[in-house]
Amino acid sequence: MSLTREIIRVKRDGGELDEASLAAFIKGITDETVSESQIAAMAMAIFLNGMSERETRLLTRYMRDSGDVLNWHSLNLDGPVLDKHSTGGVGDNVSLMLGPIIAACGGYVPMISGRGLGHTGGTLDKFDSIPGYQTHPTNDLFRRAVHDVGVAIIGQTGSLAPADKRFYATRDVTSTVESLPLITASILSKKLAEGLDGLVLDVKAGSGAFMDNEQKARELADTLVRVGSQLGVPTRAVITDMNQPLAPCAGNAIEVKSAIDYLSGNNRPNRLHQVTVALAVEALLAGGLADNSDSAKESVNRVLESGKALEVFEKMVHTLGGPHDLIERMEDYLPQAEVIKPVLAQQNGYITQIHARDLGNAVVSLGGGRLTSIDKLDYSVGISEIAELGAAVEKGQPLAVIHAANESDWQRAANQVIDTIKIDSQKPQLTEVIYASLQE
Catalytic residue among 4, 60, 95, 123: 123
Determine the distance from the C-alpha atom of residue 73 to the mean position of all C-alpha atoms in its chain, rounded to a whole number.
27
Helices 252-264 and 308-319: crossing angle in degrees, nearest 10, is 140
Q: Is there a catalytic annotation at residue 86?
A: yes
Catalytic residue among 11, 57, 119, 171: 171
**Structural contact between residues 5 and 14, judged by C-beta atoms closer than 8 angstroms:** no
SS3 state at 214? helix
Q: Is there a catalytic annotation at residue 85?
A: yes
Q: How many CA atoms lie within 13 A of 38 on its CB side?
A: 16
CA distances from 299 to 285, 292, 310 (A): 11, 11, 14
Catalytic residue among 186, 207, 223, 319: 186
**Structural contact between residues 184 and 55, judged by C-beta atoms closer than 8 angstroms:** no
Catalytic residue among 11, 57, 85, 355: 85
Catalytic residue among 61, 190, 218, 236: 190
**Structural contact between residues 189 and 356, judged by C-beta atoms closer than 8 angstroms:** no
**Structural contact between residues 49 and 11, judged by C-beta atoms closer than 8 angstroms:** yes
Instruction: Please tell me the distance from the alpha carbon of residue 22 to that of residue 17, in angstroms, as a whole number.
Output: 7
Instruction: Please tell me the distance from the alpha carbon of residue 388 to that of residue 352, in angstroms, as a whole number.
Output: 9
Q: Is there a catalytic annotation at residue 84?
A: yes
Catalytic residue among 56, 86, 319, 420: 86
**Structural contact between residues 247 and 123, judged by C-beta atoms closer than 8 angstroms:** no
Q: Is there a catalytic annotation at residue 186?
A: yes
| Cβ neighbours, 10 Å, residue 376 | 6
Task: Give the single-character DSSP code of 250.
Answer: B
**Structural contact between residues 112 and 160, judged by C-beta atoms closer than 8 angstroms:** yes
SS3 state at 350? strand
Q: Is there a catalytic annotation at residue 5?
A: no
Instruction: Please tell me the distance from the alpha carbon of residue 200 to that of residue 142, in angstroms, as a whole number.
Output: 21
Q: Is there a catalytic annotation at residue 129?
A: no
Catalytic residue among 61, 84, 115, 257: 84
**Structural contact between residues 382 and 341, judged by C-beta atoms closer than 8 angstroms:** no
Q: Is there a catalytic annotation at residue 358?
A: no
Instruction: Please tell me the distance from the alpha carbon of residue 252 to that of residue 384, in angstroms, as a whole number.
Output: 11
Alpha-helix runs per DSSP H in 50-154: 53-64, 94-104, 123-128, 139-149
Active site residues: 83-86, 123, 171, 186, 190-191
